[in-house]
Amino acid sequence: MTDKDMIICRCEEVTYGELVETANEYGCNARELKLRTRAGMGYCGGRTCRNMVDAVACTVTERDSKQVTLKYQPPVRPVHFGDLGAIGHD
């Protein structure tokens, strides 16, 4: 296994090689790289791969001091109020 085969985003199965190739081909910033590869858009919301996606994008494009790095969001699922009321009640 080489570095390019290393999986960076486990949720979307995006490899380091895919990130580098896409970043070089399109000159992507971090947000564009995320949208083109889906890295960081899986179940965990980018908690495990966000820093690497950002780092790969920075090797291709210069970071503008006003540019915001990628954020992550915790997984959220809708919950019905009836389910909340049923917790602990038999």
Kindly tell me if the per-residue pLDDT of 84 is higher than 80. Answer: no
Q: What angle do CA 36, 10, 50 make, to 5 degrees?
A: 60
Q: What is the model's pTM?
A: 0.71
What phi and psi, each to the nearest 5 degrees, are found at residue 5?
-90, -5
Helix (H) or strand (E) holding 56: helix 50-60
pLDDT interval class at 21 (50, 70, 90): very high
Q: What is the DSSP letter of 82?
A: H
**In the chain, where are the structural domains located?**
3-86
Give me 35's structure tokens: 């949208």
- CATH class belonging to 3-86: mainly alpha
The more confident residue out of 79 and 58 is 58
Closest CA to 48 of 8, 88, 6: 8
